[in-house]
Amino acid sequence: MFLLSDDSWEIKKTREKGYGVFSKKEIKMGTVIGDYLGKVIRIREYDLENDKKGLYFMYFSDQAGIYPNLNEPGPHLLNHSCQPNCWIYIYRGHSLFFALRKIEAHEELTISYLLSPKDETCAPCTHICRCASTNCTSTMHLSKDKYEYWQKFQNKERKKTKRVRVVFGTNLPKLPSYPKTIPHNPIYKIMSSSVRHSF
Ligand SMILES: [Zn+2]
Ligand SMILES: [Zn+2]
């Protein structure tokens, strides 16, 4: 579910990556873009083979993941970039997407899919990245050290959040209220500190 006003985003065809989400006007740094809603699925029952390329399943807790309704617009439509302009903030267990920096009008909104390092379980690998950022690694898989770095960061962040109870097999309900912005997040510093930390 997008949390931006309807007049500030649109879905458009991209040259290389199918559809993507674009800003229609400037989005301020920290603005909450949307909540990753969908069906609550048990991770151990999740069938990766049926998930087109495995890119839509969002981790929720040790046991639960979220699978979005692909017929509805939402944050799952954001394409991957090695230098994304959006990031994920865990709020009451929900994955909120927010603007990592100021996003100009008509820019594509992007996120890192944060895929685990490529190994023999991903073959043939279809996770080719064509994000065209200056430090594109050509793959959506993270390197081992970036992945570990991110896991550590995320685990620390997750501990700060109170998770809502979920019912397996039902849709994750939207929260009664959402923050408009994510003002203080250590990720801003990490992501702007150097190219070395681009994902
Ligand atoms: Zn792959
Ligand atoms: Zn890339």
For residue 129, how far is its CA from the centre of ligand 1 (angstroms)? 10
Nearest to 164 by CA among 58, 60, 87: 60
In the DSSP assignment, the letter for residue 5 is -
The pLDDT assigned to 48 comes to 63
pLDDT tens digits, residue range 15-49? 888 899 999 999 999 999 999 999 999 988 877 66
> Considering the entire predicted model, what is its pTM?
0.91
Question: What's the CA-to-centroid distance between 157 and ligand 2, angstroms?
Answer: 25
Q: Is 8 strand, coil or helix?
A: helix
How far away, in angstroms, is 70 Cα from ligand 1 center? Answer: 21
140 Cα: distance to centroid of ligand 2 (angstroms): 7
What integer best gives the mean pLDDT of the chain? Answer: 89
**Contact indicator for 118, 54 with CB cutoff of 8 Å:** no
What CATH number labels 6-193?
A: 2.170.270.10
